[in-house]
């Protein structure tokens, strides 16, 4: 009401989707309810640019999913969302590009898909009659090799050709391939920055 010129129907729609009772007094609301009110206030006038800081803190998982859907709708309309969050899964869900800050200095701005391609991936091989884990450890670009029963899991950086050729020497029952999470990329990137600083 203080803002004025608001589409009341849209406010009602946001309140319904975020499961917020708009008849409650703010001082009687929990922190999660206050977070919902803040989101409604941020969205209700359909701004061209949204700047959000840890927007889903205190929200239950179902409301978080609704929030993610709202953000997809905002960006589909051509509007921009700047999101500051320590929840990297949330960043991965909402954002197309990510900026990585280290001690207040912007270290990189990349598309999430690009960061994932240039870093590393995890592979798990399940083989009949076991496999020699140490053979995989000796391959260039392979690290963090672990073995459990008939499975070998490892991290691969660079080309997969040497891994595939070695795996072909075994009876492979199953092979899974996982992209790293944004959190793993983030930690890897900071590790590289620290190494460069010490060099």
pLDDT tens-digit series, residues 37-86: 999 999 999 999 999 999 998 888 999 999 999 999 999 999 999 998 88
The answer to whether the beta carbons of residues 193 and 102 sit under 8 Å apart is yes
pLDDT tens-digit series, residues 136-147: 999 998 999 999
The answer to whether the beta carbons of residues 107 and 118 sit under 8 Å apart is no
User: Structure tokens of 182?
Assistant: 């944004």
Q: What is the pLDDT of residue 22?
A: 86
pLDDT tens-digit series, residues 84-128: 888 878 888 889 998 877 788 887 788 887 776 667 888 999 998
User: Structure tokens of 196?
Assistant: 């460069």
For the cut 70, the answer to whether the pLDDT of residue 11 exceeds it is yes
The CA dihedral of 107, 113, 118, 122, to the nearest 10 degrees, is: 120
- Would the pTM count as exceeding 0.85? no
Q: Which residues contact 137 (CB under 8 A, 6 or more apart)?
A: 143, 145, 154
For the cut 90, the answer to whether the pLDDT of residue 29 exceeds it is no
Return the closest-CA partner of residue 54 out of 86, 14, 32. Answer: 86
- Return the beta strands (E) in 79-199 as ranges: 80-84, 97-102, 105-111, 121-127, 142-148, 151-156, 172-178
| C-alpha to C-alpha distance for 143 and 141, rounded to whole angstroms | 7
């Amino acid at each position: 009401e203080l803002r004025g010129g608001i589409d009341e129907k849209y406010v009602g729609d946001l309140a319904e989707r975020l499961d917020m009772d708009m008849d409650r007094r703010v001082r009687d609301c929990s922190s999660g309810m206050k977070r919902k009110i803040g989101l409604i206030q941020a969205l209700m006038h359909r701004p061209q640019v949204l700047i959000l800081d840890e927007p889903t803190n205190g929200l239950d998982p179902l409301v978080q999913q609704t929030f993610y859907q709202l953000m997809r709708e905002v960006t589909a309309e051509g509007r921009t969302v700047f999101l500051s969050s320590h929840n990297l899964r949330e960043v991965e869900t909402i954002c197309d590009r990510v900026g990585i800050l280290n001690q207040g200095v912007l270290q990189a701005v990349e598309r999430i898909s690009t960061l994932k391609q240039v870093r590393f991936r995890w592979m798990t091989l399940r083989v009949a009659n076991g496999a020699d884990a140490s053979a995989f450890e000796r391959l260039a670009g392979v690290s963090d090799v672990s073995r459990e029963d008939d499975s070998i899991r490892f991290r691969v950086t660079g080309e997969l050709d040497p891994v595939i050729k070695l795996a072909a020497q075994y009876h492979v029952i199953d092979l899974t391939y996982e992209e790293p999470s944004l959190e793993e990329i983030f930690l890897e990137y900071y590790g590289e920055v620290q190494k460069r600083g010490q060099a």
